[in-house]
Structures are given as C-alpha cells and as structure tokens.
Amino acid sequence: MKKIVSLLLVLFLATGLLSFAAAEEKPLVGISVPYNPTGWVAAVEWAAKATADRLGLNYMMTVSNSEAEQADALDVFIQQECDYVVLFPFNDTLATAAQRVIDAGIVLVNYDRTLTGLDPETYYYVAGDNRQMGVMGADYIAEKTGGKGKVVIVSIPAYGAIFAERVQGFRDTVEEKYPDLEILEEYGAENGSPEVGLALMTDILTANPEIDAVYSTDDEMSIGLIQAIVESGRMGQIKAITGGGGAQKYFPLMDEYKDQMWVSSQTYDPYMMITCLEIVDQLIKGEEVPMRTIVPPSNLDYTNYQEWLDSKGITPDAPY
C-alpha cells in the first residue's frame, strides 16, 4: 500500500512539475489597467481577466491608482521579462513608461487611450473612433433641435486626448454643417462619475438660463447631468443630450424620458479589451495582425439600444 501511495505521490509531483514547466515556457503577458472610478473601466478590467483566462494565457495583471503607480507597474513588467504588455493607460502621460516597454523589446498592445509622442508603428493599438463619436453627436443634436439652438459641451479633459477628439469632432461638425447651433461654453468634469456630473450640471444650469441641448462625452456622467436637469425643473426645455460608453444603467433613462428629452449615446463598448488579448494570442501563434484596430461607434437611443446590447452579447449580469 505504501509503495502505491509513494508511486502516486511521485506521479503527482512529476505532473505538477511538468505543468509548472509548461506554464513557464508560455510567453508572459503583463496586463496593466487603471483603478476603476467608473463602471466602464471596471468592465475593461473584467474583460481582460476573463479573456486571458479563456485563452489560457500566462499572465500577470496590475490595477494602478495613479499615473505614477501605473508607470511603476510597467517597469515591473520589464523586470519580470514579459514578452507582451497590454496597456490601458490612465492618460497620455504614460507615453514615457510605455516607451521603456518598447525599448526593452516587449510587444506593446495599447488600448483606448492615446500615447502622445510615440511612433504609432512601434506598438499595436485598439480603440473606438472617438472623433466620429463627436460627429455623430453633432448630427444627432442637430436632428433633434431642428439644427438650431444653444448647446453646452461637457467633457472630461483628465481622461486624455480621446475626449478632446470627441469634442473636436463635435465642434468641427457644428461649424461645417449647423451654423444655427450656438455652442455656449465647454465645461470640464474631473471624472465621469454621476455625482460629479450632477454637481457640474447644477452649476451649468444656473449659469445658462437657456439651453436647448447638451453634448456630453460620457454615459455615466450624463446620468448625473440628467438628474440635475430633472431636479432643476428644466426637463422638456432641453431637447437632447448625448453620452458615450455604453452603460447599461444609462439606457433605461432613454425610455424614462423619451417623451420629454432625447437621451442618446454615441458609443463603442468596453468589451473591446477582448480584442487586445485576442491580438496577443494571435501574435503568440505567429499570426499577422494589423497595427491599428479602430472600431466605429454606434448611435443609440430608446429606439435601438436593446438591439445593440443583444448584438454584442451584453447581458444584464455584465459589469457595465
């Protein structure tokens, strides 16, 4: 009996060592995401881990609370001799740390936010078409206001160039196509939380007694903006509001206020992070992948958001 137990133990240890060796032979993938102040970022984190597990990647993952902490995490990936790094940067300031990753000979896949100053031919990039989100937002507001009226812009400058691209797409389209739409002012929120949106929109409404539409760059922020509009009693005066991100908790407001205000989102979704990990998997297998993958946005309101959710396979239990 003891011989059988000993034999089983030897086999178990041998199997364990073989499994460990197999894991060690797999390329190491570092995944870096920022701390999630909003559901969109939380969904990116969820999608990254779920996809890495599904693909059987050998990976380490970090969640950072600041730009400096994320830069340190990238240095750790270099020290750990990662073969691939998937980066969802806090903002453009991560470019210097990302360059160190590239200089170390590590394949970099950057997600969503830009890395200003880096040669785009030196890393892979997956993102939505942010400028087109702004173009769509301008067209939507013009349609719902009859192409005239007073508009305020609410964005999140701290999130980097992608939000500036949305605003620029909106401004350029208004200037080119809708001369009777007057942009009153552009306001910057410190982040995309509904609470910040509520406080900011309360001030905006006080400063602007006449507003016909709101160009907002973020769904979750728009939840707070809408709450402020409701509490001010100006629901109905403001004809349309936009968003971005694809937040499930935002969509019910499209139904709730459809008789008083057009609530919309010009969006791509956080689950595009899946594409980043699939690109890594393809590269590991020696397959060719384009350097840039840009996903076009969708224009959503109460008439089609459920169809979009169904087409993406986004169910109510998803984290965003």
The residue extents of the domains of the chain are: 26-129+270-289, 130-267
Question: How remote is the C-alpha of 288 from its chain's centroid?
Answer: 25
Task: Write down the pTM of the prediction.
Answer: 0.74
Inform me whether the pLDDT recorded for 11 exceeds 50. Answer: no
Question: pLDDT band at 25, cuts 50/70/90?
Answer: confident
* Best CATH choice for the domain 130-267 from the list 1.20.1270.360, 2.60.40.1930, 3.40.50.2300, 3.90.1150.10: 3.40.50.2300
**Residue 319: which of 249, 259, 267 has the closest Cα?**
249
The model's pLDDT over 187-229, given as tens digits with 9 standing for 90+, comes to 999 999 999 999 999 999 999 999 999 999 999 999 999 999 9
Which conformational region is residue 234 in: left (phi greater than 0), alpha (psi within -120 to 50 degrees), or beta? alpha
What does the mean pLDDT of the chain come to? 89
Write down the number of H helices and E strands in the chain. Answer: 11, 13
The class level of CATH for 26-129+270-289 reads alpha beta
Among 303, 248, 293, CA closest to 273: 293
Per-residue pLDDT tens over the stretch 136-161:
999 999 999 999 999 999 999 988 88
